[in-house]
Amino acid sequence: MTNGSADAVHVDERLLGRYIEELGRIGESPDGGMSRFLYDRAWQQARDTLVGWIREAGLEPRVDAVGNVFGRLPGASDRVVLTGSHVDTVPSGGKYDGALGVVGGLAALAALAGSGTPARTLEVVALCEEESSRFPANFFGTRAMLGLIGPDEPQRLRDPDGVLLADAMREAGLDPAAIGTAERHDLDAFLELHIEQGRVLADEGVDIGLVEVIPSIAWETITVRGRQDHAGATPMDLRQDALQAAAQMAREITGLVEQEGRPAVATTGRWTVEPGLPSIVPGLARFSLDLRHPDLAVRDRLLAGVHRICTDVAQRHGVQVDVTREKDEEPAAMDRQLLDVCRQAAEACGASWKEMPSGAGHDSQLMATRVPTAMVFVPSVAGRSHTPAEYTELADCVRGASVLATALHRLAF
């Protein structure tokens, strides 16, 4: 349905509400948390449900070699404007992360299906394994489309139960030998609708976030080696306690990033202490650091500060420290022209908007390396995400999907 005067396309609120509710029951546990992992039963049920909805909406369904689900509205040209997000969840996750971009995109194409034949083809996609909740293969669906899956991955990667990725694919009716056929060279643009997963939009009362950049992430492992000693017989002044030194490092690193202020974030979420007994002074402590900032120069300056802190604290505590880089992602800039189209779409829909960096990582950061890409955020109530408490008001979902539909209309018709 097109509102000619305002040039806005409005999605059907009842349809989108039904999609959110029904998809939110597939993989739901009694506590309301979602667990929908790549190729498992819930994932397969979601795939089959989406294929049915795609057909109902008058679109052409297709499942590619890795299980990405597409709904196609053919245009005069075979070049494709693509929208969508991921359908897998984190363990005990929410009903909106990823899912909203899939069903919002579907509701948008359903609204556009009645507007005649577009100049460019429109597709919606449900991408698989963004979160790497089951296999250490994040962005699996997006990587398949971009031809970035390593030839040995299906025979090498295993889930926590030891199931091989190739066997899980066969279980879901997919042929690992066909992965290469998922590669696409016909994409002109990718738009991803997503919940913010933070509280900026909710706190400021803004309807729509236009993502300018997805931040660079650095992961490091910091290993501190002290001396393992008896907890009763070793005086405090003679100890080289690895955990106390590591805890001091974590505290000072956190202080440094707090001082930098928003949007810099640092998290030390995983800890190992050896030997890990009440009566032994720890000889080894190891912790992870996840540090993010949208500006690579700022991130690297903070990392230099982190390394200085580690050296200083190690010296003061008489311990050894060793830092290894596990992950080093470049920031991904969103496409300026697409952002302008999304901004105009927001204005046509009467929505307030602001440009902002993303807090989390998304399929869009990888897609942006090959295809002009933009992201549209809607508010997350209280900024909650990756928890059953994750929630976005239906009115915000509808507004976001309508902004998406309006942008797709401008891009494809």
Shortest approach of Zn ion to residue 364 CB, angstroms?
Answer: 10
Give me the torsion for CA of 198, 214, 365, 134, rounded to 10°: -40
Q: Rank residues 359 and 372 by Cβ distance to Zn ion and give the closer one.
A: 359
Q: Which of 98, 105, 176, 294 binds Zn ion (CB under 5 A)?
A: 98
Binding window for Zn ion (CB under 5 A); candidates: 52-60, 98-106, 235-243, 290-298: 98-106
Which C-beta is closer to Zn ion: that of 129 or that of 241? 129
Among 89, 196, 87, 197, which residue's Cα sits nearest to residue 142? Answer: 87
Among 218, 70, 194, which Cα is nearest to 144's? 70
81: amino acid identity, one letter: V
Sign (positive or negative) of CA dihedral 388, 392, 397, 400: negative
**Nearest approach, Cβ of 130 to Zn ion (angstroms)?**
6
The DSSP code for 28 is B
Q: How far is CA 361 from CA 217, 262, 383, in A?
A: 8, 17, 16
Instruction: Mark the segment that binds Zn ion (CB under 5 A) among 57-65, 91-99, 255-263, 286-294.
Output: 91-99
CB 78 within 8 A of CB 64: no
The site that binds Zn ion (CB under 5 A) totals a number of residues, namely 2
Amino acid, res. 80: V
Closer of 101 and 176 to Zn ion (Cβ): 101
Q: From the list 40, 64, 88, 97, which residue makes contact with Zn ion (rule: CB under 5 A)?
A: 97
Q: Give the C-alpha separation, 161 to 238, whole Å.
A: 44
CB of 98 to Zn ion, least distance (A): 4
Q: Which of residues 323-362 bind Zn ion (CB under 5 A)?
A: none
Please report whether residue 64 would count as binding Zn ion according to CB under 5 A. no
**Of the ranges 95-103, 179-187, 209-217, 288-296, which one interacts with Zn ion (CB under 5 A)?**
95-103
Q: Which stretch binds Zn ion (CB under 5 A): 59-67, 93-101, 163-171, 202-210?
A: 93-101
Nearest to 98 by CA among 157, 156, 24: 24
In the complex, least distance from residue 162 CB atom to Zn ion, rounded to whole angstroms = 27
Smallest gap from Cβ 362 to Zn ion, in A, equals: 6
Residue that has been written with the tokens 């993010």 in this structure: 292
Residues making contact with Zn ion (CB under 5 A): 97-98
